[in-house]
Amino acid sequence: MINLIKKILSYRYIRFLLVGFMNTVFGYGLYAFFIFIGLHYSVAALLGTVLGVLFNFQTIGRLVFGRSDSKFVFLRFVAVYALGYVLNVALIYVLKQVGFNDYLAGAVLILPVATLIYFLNSKFVFKLVAIEVKI
């Protein structure tokens, strides 16, 4: 059983999904909290994204790609999340226009935006420095 778990965790995308789940709980929790205290969805998403990027850089960099110590990599990581933020807010706006509330619109976009962020991170951020994490 332990060998099966190690085998499953040897796949970078599986690690990304597991770490991403933890990061999503953190980021969406912040977003929902900021909505709950009355902030506009764009401000809630911005604050959740900024705080989430700092948290996610460490978890994704270390646990998924095996690296998180380069300033250059961090700047690319921030650029990917900035793009994710803009797309997320634009899509929340669209979903609100068709009747979704702030909470549901944010929740519906978690997986599509996360998948885009994984792709961009794997191709443009950690590509040159990526190493496999041995479990």
Q: What is the per-residue pLDDT for 130?
A: 43
Whether residue 6 lies inside any domain: the answer is yes
Whether residue 133 lies inside any domain: the answer is no
Q: What's the Cα-to-Cα distance from 83 to each of 15, 37, 114, rounded to whole Å?
A: 22, 26, 12
Q: What is the per-residue pLDDT for 39?
A: 96
Low-confidence ranges of the chain (pLDDT < 70): 67-69, 128-135
Q: What's the Cα-to-Cα distance from 100 to each of 29, 43, 120, rounded to whole Å?
A: 18, 18, 27
Whether residue 132 lies inside any domain: the answer is no
Whether residue 83 lies inside any domain: the answer is yes
Whether residue 112 lies inside any domain: the answer is yes
The one-character DSSP state at 11 is S
Q: How many domains does the chain have?
A: 1
Whether residue 135 lies inside any domain: the answer is no
Q: What is the per-residue pLDDT for 66?
A: 76
**Is this structure's pTM higher than 0.75?**
no
Whether residue 131 lies inside any domain: the answer is no
Q: Please check whether residue 111 is in contact with residue 43, taking contact to mean a CB–CB distance below 8 angstroms.
A: no
Whether residue 76 lies inside any domain: the answer is yes
Crossing angle of the two packed helices 12-36 and 110-120, in degrees rounded to 10: 130
- The span from the CA of 106 to the CA of 32, in Å, is 9
- Look up the domain containing 15 and give its range: 2-125
- The span from the CA of 121 to the CA of 86, in Å, is 16
